[in-house]
Amino acid sequence: EIVLTQSPATLSLSPGERATLSCRASQSVSSYLAWYQQKPGQAPRLLVYDASNRATGIPARFSGSRSGTDFTLTISSLEPEDFAVYYCQQRYNWPPTFGQGTRLEIK
Amino acid sequence: DVQLVESGGGLVQPGRSLRLSCAASGFSFDDYAMHWVRQVPGKGLEWVSGISWNSGNIGYLDSVKGRFIISRDNAKNSLYLQMNSLRDEDTALYYCAKDMFPVAAAGPFDHWGQGTLVTVSS
């Protein structure tokens, strides 16, 4: 099973700041990594798939990148609605696995 | 619009069974793989099971293998999860999720339902 390790566990930033969230895979997942956003009481929402492709309807301030087994989700300028929990997920191998999440909170 | 509506959750004693259903609408159900993903309230996400568009490719989380059975009825646009020999650790909110692709059945998951809560307790 591929383990995804997200960092930091919690990120405290202010609206307008840039957010950088990380996800490291325990082995190669090629570019088969996705990012999800989850707000309290809501289902997760797909943001980015295959490392750098934004899902339908996702604002351009969200971007994803890959360097080997390290993946980054960047939010260029935080909006109030962006404060949530973010998960990464790999589809390279079964079972698909998720990271433990990064909580993005308002500073 | 894509809609996924789960049902069938509830309170059940350890060792008993439960069957979850997911009614899909707003897309060509038989063109996509489908999944069940669970989440203990306040905790992270855990993939449980997935099924390809034609049921030819099915996978399970190791801890549910031999106890859970995923199936789909493309004529009814419905996904199911038969959960047998339930354990305390199966307690979670169970989401139905649509795959972006038809075959590989490992995600990404581009649409989710609101979930149905399963509580296993004596």
Contact between B113 and B97 under an 8 Å Cβ cutoff? The reply is yes
Out of A45, A49, A96, the one facing B47 most closely (by C-beta) is A96
**What does pLDDT average to over chain A?**
97
Write the pLDDT tens digit of every residue in A11-48.
999 999 999 999 999 999 999 999 999 999 999 999 99
Measured distance CA(B80)–CA(B23) in Å, rounded: 9
> Which of A88, A91, A93, A103 is the best residue to mutate to test the B interface, defined by the most B CB atoms within 10 Å of its own CB?
A91
The whole-number pLDDT of residue B107 equals 87
**Whether the Cβ atoms of residue B92 and residue B40 lie closer than 8 Å to each other:** yes
- Is residue B101 predicted with pLDDT exceeding 90? no
Q: Kindly report, residue by residue over B31-89, the tens digit of the pLDDT.
A: 999 999 999 999 999 999 999 999 999 999 999 999 999 999 999 999 999 999 999 99
CB contact under 8 A, B50 and A89: no
Residues in Cβ contact with A78 at an 8 Å cutoff, skipping those fewer than 6 apart = A13, A14, A15, A16, A17, A18, A19, A104
Instruction: Tell me the pLDDT tens digit for each residue of B1-30.
Output: 999 999 999 999 999 999 999 999 999 999
Burial class (CB in 10 A: 0-12, 13-18, 19+), A54: middle
CB B47 within 8 A of CB A95: yes
Measure CB to CB from residue A95 to each of B59, B108, B110 and give the nearest one: B59
By residue count, chain A amounts to 107
What is the band of A2 on the pLDDT scale with cuts at 50, 70, 90?
very high
